[in-house]
Each structure stands twice: as C-alpha cells, then as structure tokens.
Amino acid sequence: MLDRRIELLRVLAQVGTITEAAHLLYRSPSGYSRQLRGLADELGVELLEQHGREVRLTPAGQHLVAYAHETHAAWEQTKSALTKETEVVGRLWLGAHPTALSALVAPNLEELAAAHPRLSVHLSETEAPQCFDQLIAGHLDACIVPARADLPPASDHRFHQDTLASEPMDALIPSHHRAAASNWVELGGLSQDRWILPGADRSGHQEVLSACHAAGFTPEVIHYAQDTQAVADLVEATGAVSLTSRFATFRSTAARVPLGGSPTPHRKLLLCTLTGAEGSQPIETLAQLIATRTLDRRDDYYL
C-alpha cells in the first residue's frame, strides 16, 4: 500500500488547495501541510510551490501523483482478481444522484444483498463533479451520476466510466396548460412559455438549456429550483414549464408529458469508479442488476 502521505498529495492534486483537501479528509490544514513537508524532506525534493495563496505541484510532485494513481489502479485490479472466486465481505460505499438512487439503486438492494450477504452497502446522495473528489479521497467506491460537461473526460485514466442507461426527459407542465392532456409534446412547442430551471451550478441546468437550444430557442427563465417536488409545485402555481427526469417522483396536479420529436432529450447515467475497481464483484453485480431492469422497462430507459 502507498505511504499515507502520498495519498494526501494525491487528494491535493485532485481538489487543488490544502484547505479543501484537509476539509475533505477531516484534517487540519496545518497538519496536512506538515505531513506533506515531512514527505518532501524525506525524499529530498520539493513537491509543492507557492503561487500567491495557492500551491501547485512541482514536476516531482506531479510525477509522484502519477505513480500513486498507477499504483492505486493496480491495487484495485488485484483486489478484484483476488475476490473473484471468494465470498465478498466488507463494505461498499455507493453514491448516486437522487433520482438514480431511488430508481436504479434502491430497487436492486435486495438482490444485491442476496448475491453478497456478507457485504454491507452504504448509500449517499451525491452530485457530480464532487463525487469524483470523494472517489479519490476513498469516501466512495462507486457513484452513479448524469453525464455533464464538467465531468472528467473519458480519457482521464484515473477513473472508469460506464453508461448504465439513457434516461428520457419529460415535460413538466401545469394542469391547465394547453398540452396537459396530450400524449406527447414537442420541446419546441414550449418555446413561448416561461420556464423553471435548476440553478446554474446544479445538476440538470445545462441539460435543460442544451435541450432547448437544440430545439431552436432559449428559455425565458423566471424561477430556479432543484428539488423535483418544489419544481412541480412552482410549475402548477406559476403556469411556467420545466423538464423532469423520468425517474423523478413527485405529488402534484402538474402534468408529466413525454417529449416527442427529434432529437428526443435524454441524459446518460454513468457508473463511475476509480480505475481498476470496476471489476469488483459488488459493482459488477449492481451494474448487471441495473442493466436487467433497464431491459425490462424499455419504455422508461434507452440503452
């Protein structure tokens, strides 16, 4: 296993500042800095250099972090190979976007427990891109999140990203809207409506904007909200419209209407792990269970 101080450097390289890295690992910034200084003194090289109030990795620090990622990937692959023929024990820490947590993970927990009865599964809601920090820090073994522009690229060898499903997006419109009783509605047909979007820094914001732009218009946004129930309540109360995940559940008189036309807006849901960990039995089992469920519900998922 790696020297713990190298792991500290690895997390710092991911999040960018000692303050954020210390917060992520529940340490004090002064103690964090002291341990990295001790590692540098022991190796006889400078690992960090000061740039104003920030620090950056030196070429030696970058080299050490690259070695740490390669070593960690090899260790994950070794663990996966060693447990292929043995009973899986221990803990699986899984983070998921809220709708994926309820629609993909929760329905499969019983079968996952049956497949690995000595495995303890721990779940948490998580968002991208913060979940990738949690993977590097060891707080999560895997996460399920929508694909979005600020995720690490597929070429980033630190992470393994697999598409689980492509989830259709539906229109969310007031019960008195002209299209509320329709079997489907084209997104462009909502171009004259006022809109409710997630905040600019929240999951779904860019997806809705991109879908509207692809349909040939920029939405007039009057409110920002993230929680599905809150959005549904605002839609009904204000007469504005929005888009919602087909996985999302809510109680409202607002109408959920499938979107038609081409292209039909959807979002890809990704299963992400550190490189090497994707072959672990629990993660493979969960991915297989989710894949089976998506095949059984073709109307709700695209593959």
Convert the pLDDT of each residue in 152-175 to its tens digit. Answer: 999 999 999 999 888 888 999 999
Closest-CA residue to 21 (of 112, 115, 192, 138)? 138
11-52 pLDDT per residue, tens:
999 998 999 999 999 999 999 999 999 999 999 999 999 887
Mean pLDDT of all residues belonging to the chain? 89
Residue 297 in this model has a pLDDT that exceeds 80: no
Displacement of CA 96 from its chain's centroid (Å): 6
Contact 205, 197 (CB under 8 A): yes
Residue 257 in this model has a pLDDT that exceeds 50: yes
Burial 73-100 (b: 16+ CB within 10 A, else e): beebbeebeebeeeebeeebbbbbbbbb
Tokens standing for residue 91: 């803990």
Euclidean distance between CA atoms 77 and 47, whole angstroms: 28
- pLDDT-derived band at 300 (thresholds 50, 70, 90) equals low
Domains of the chain: 4-72 (1.10.10.10), 91-165+269-296 (3.40.190.10), 170-266 (3.40.190.10)
Between 222 and 100, the more confident residue is 222
- pLDDT-derived band at 299 (thresholds 50, 70, 90) equals low
Kind of pairing, strands 159-173 and 242-245? antiparallel
The predicted model scores a pTM of 0.84
What distance, in Å, lies between the first and last C-alpha atoms of the chain?
38
Instruction: Give pLDDT, residue 298.
Output: 47
Tokens standing for residue 262: 């081409």
194-230 pLDDT per residue, tens:
999 988 877 788 888 888 998 899 999 999 998 889 9
What are phi and psi for residue 240, nearest 5 degrees? Answer: -80, 170
> Would you state the torsion angle of the CA atoms of residues 107, 109, 111, 117, taken in this order, to the nearest 10 degrees?
-170
44-94 pLDDT per residue, tens:
999 999 887 778 999 999 999 999 999 999 999 998 888 777 777 888 999
Residue 127 in this model has a pLDDT that exceeds 90: no
* Helix, strand, coil content of the chain in percent (nearest 5): 40, 25, 35
What would the DSSP string read from start to end of 138-175?
TS-SEEEEE--TTSPPTT-TTEEEEEEEEEEEEEEE-T
Instruction: Give pLDDT, residue 289.
Output: 86
Instruction: Give pLDDT, residue 247.
Output: 83
- pLDDT-derived band at 302 (thresholds 50, 70, 90) equals very low
Contact 145, 126 (CB under 8 A): yes
For residues 260-267, give the mean pLDDT.
78
The label of the residue with tokens 């299209």 reads 179
CB neighbours of residue 119 within 10 Å: 17
